[in-house]
Amino acid sequence: MEIEGEELNLKALIEAALFVSEEPIRAAELSDILPVDGGKIRQIMLELKEEYKEQERGMQLLEISGGFKMTTREEHYSFLEKLFGRQTRARLSDSAIETLVIVAYYQPVTRAEVESLRGVNSQSVINTLLEKGFIKIKGRRDEIGRPMEYSTTKKFLDYFGLGSLNDLPDEDEVETLRSREEQNE
């Protein structure tokens, strides 16, 4: 098989795609371009993930949102921070994170339910999360006023490094993560 005049080296092509992509890549996306089925591509991605792990390389492959993403290893963050300075992704406000937590754990959830749990008007933060693509309108509740229901999106999973909602931490884990985040600020 040839692709653009070069002999097809699937593993190298998949690795290159993972390296340059900012978003997780699904095997099905690559199977649309490469003359190989998604099952074979997924198998190669799993092999690459294991190779990086076994060789203790500076990079790793994470399985996120049904796809794979290449990232640096966590144990190298302090070195990279010294080398490049602290590079931060778009930060979410405390109110946005609080709202996302409520939506993630109680979805589908209405604005009134979010506001009841937060104790404050949440229309603005919900609009912001909708605009940024972290939540979406799931539908309308079958009750008086037919309020909109909200749920999280793939972008939410990607941002927090989750494969699925099943990967959400329990309450004890949330407290540990919150303490760690506060120490890093």
Match 């309308």 to its residue by tokens. 140
Q: Are residues 111 and 42 in the same domain?
A: no
pTM of the model: 0.52
Match 């699937």 to its residue by tokens. 10
Question: What average pLDDT does range 75-104 have in this prediction?
Answer: 81
| pLDDT over 70, % of the chain | 85
pLDDT of residue 183 exceeding 50, the answer is: yes
Q: Could you tell me which residue, 182 or 37, shows the higher pLDDT?
A: 37
Among 84, 102, 132, the domain boundary falls at: 84
Mean of pLDDT over the chain: 84
Question: Would you state the pLDDT for residue 95?
Answer: 86
Q: Could you tell me which residue, 101 or 171, shows the higher pLDDT?
A: 101
Question: What average pLDDT does range 16-29 have in this prediction?
Answer: 86
How many other CB atoms are found less than 10 A from the CB of residue 37?
Answer: 12
| CA 163 to centroid of chain Cα atoms | 7
Among 27, 57, 84, the domain boundary falls at: 84
Question: Would you state the pLDDT for residue 99?
Answer: 93
pLDDT of residue 5 exceeding 60, the answer is: no
Q: Are residues 104 and 126 in the same domain?
A: yes
Q: Please give the Cα distance from 104 to 125 (Å, whole number).
A: 15
Question: Would you state the pLDDT for residue 176?
Answer: 65
Residue 89 lies in a domain: no
Q: How far is CA 93 from CA 96, 98, 119, 141, 152, in A?
A: 5, 9, 17, 28, 17
Q: Are residues 45 and 72 in the same domain?
A: yes
Which has the minimum average pLDDT: 57-66, 107-116, 129-138?
A: 57-66
Longest dimension (CA), the chain: 63
Question: Would you state the pLDDT for residue 9?
Answer: 85
Question: Would you state the pLDDT for residue 6?
Answer: 42
